[in-house]
Amino acid sequence: MSQITKQSGQQLLLVLVGFALLMFVTACPRKGGPTGPAAQGPQSKEPAGPSPSTIIAARTLHNPPALTAKGDDASRAVADFIDWAGASLPEEHEDGRKALAAARDNQDIVKAFTAEITKAQRSDHSRALLALSLLGEMRSPASEDFFREFVNQPFPEGGTRTEEGEIVEQTALATLQAKAIDGLAYLHSGRADEEVLKQVQRHPSIIVRSEAISAYLWNQNDKEAARRTLLQYIRKGEERYLDQITREEGERAASFNSKLEAYLKAHPEVVPPAPEGQRGDYGKPDQAPKPDAPPKY
């Protein structure tokens, strides 16, 4: 019995010594130094850029680029203004609005904006969206034809599908066309309003149709008359978009949440079902979620 125990102890000792040697060899650096991406460290030759807080601190606030240029210089001025707007702070938004309003009758600036939008649509979705918003804010009559043509671009029938079945190219174009609809509604001319109402009825994307409803209603002085007009164009089953809510700039969360609660109470059909595993006894008639008690998120 003692012999067996001794042999077992020797075997265990050999195993432990072998394991220790293995760990020592693994931990030792290989000849020539460490290898692999992690051991080599960062591969970029460019130095780290300044932090966002440093960039903001170095900016001169309330100083948007001027939109007074003509001819070829207008393109550079517009590109600079879009860059400025993308980096601007909330307290500078009014400065941007004033600069855009002052350039309303500058045909060269309007053309430069449309050229930037057309170029960015192919390569930079976010920049195109921002430029469309800025051109709409300008409220120049010279932009109306461009907005009309933009919102009538052929809608893609196919493309890259996500796992949920969404076609990426359709969504990308629809979000841009919805912003063009905002520009048309803000112009508030006879032809522009006609185009907005046409898109309420005919556009293939609900993204654009719902935005057309909201933008038309927002820009009409007589809201009740606008609702009656819209009801002549809204597709059956989409009437609830007349009541959709928007959060205004500077609006407090409590105010917006109050509007959201009222909307969900009026339209319980848009409240999403509880996630699987959290439905409890919803299957029972007396345990169904009440329309006046929307789920908390």
Element (H, E) at 224: helix 223-230
pLDDT at residue 297, as a whole number: 31
Residues forming a β-bridge with 161? 167
Residue 40's pLDDT is 58
What is the predicted pLDDT for the residue at 279?
55
pLDDT of residue 70: 97
How would you label 6-18 residue by residue, b for 16+ Cβ within 10 Å and e otherwise? eeeeeeeeeeeee
Give per-residue pLDDT as tens, 18-64.
444 344 434 444 444 445 544 555 566 667 777 777 766 678 999 99
pTM here is 0.74
Any idea what DSSP says for residue 167?
Answer: B
Q: What is the pLDDT of residue 284?
A: 44
- Cα separations in angstroms, 242 against 137, 157, 268, 270: 23, 27, 15, 14
Whole-number pLDDT of residue 250: 85
Single out the residue of 132, 158, 134, 160 nearest to residue 146, CA to CA.
132
**216, 185 in Cβ contact below 8 A?**
yes
Position 274 scores a pLDDT of 80
Instruction: State how far the Cα of 165 lies from the Cα of 169, in Å rounded to an integer.
Output: 12
Q: Where are the domains of the chain?
A: 61-138, 149-244
Query: How would you class 211 by CB atoms within 10 Å of its CB: exposed for 0-12, middle for 13-18, buried for 19 or more?
Result: buried
The enclosing H or E element of 20 equals helix 2-27
> What does the pLDDT look like over 204-227, one tens digit per residue?
999 999 999 999 999 999 999 999
| The pLDDT of residue 46 | 66
> What is the model's pLDDT at position 125?
98
Place of tokens 């879009």: 82
Weakly modelled stretches of the chain, pLDDT under 70 = 1-46, 55-57, 277-297
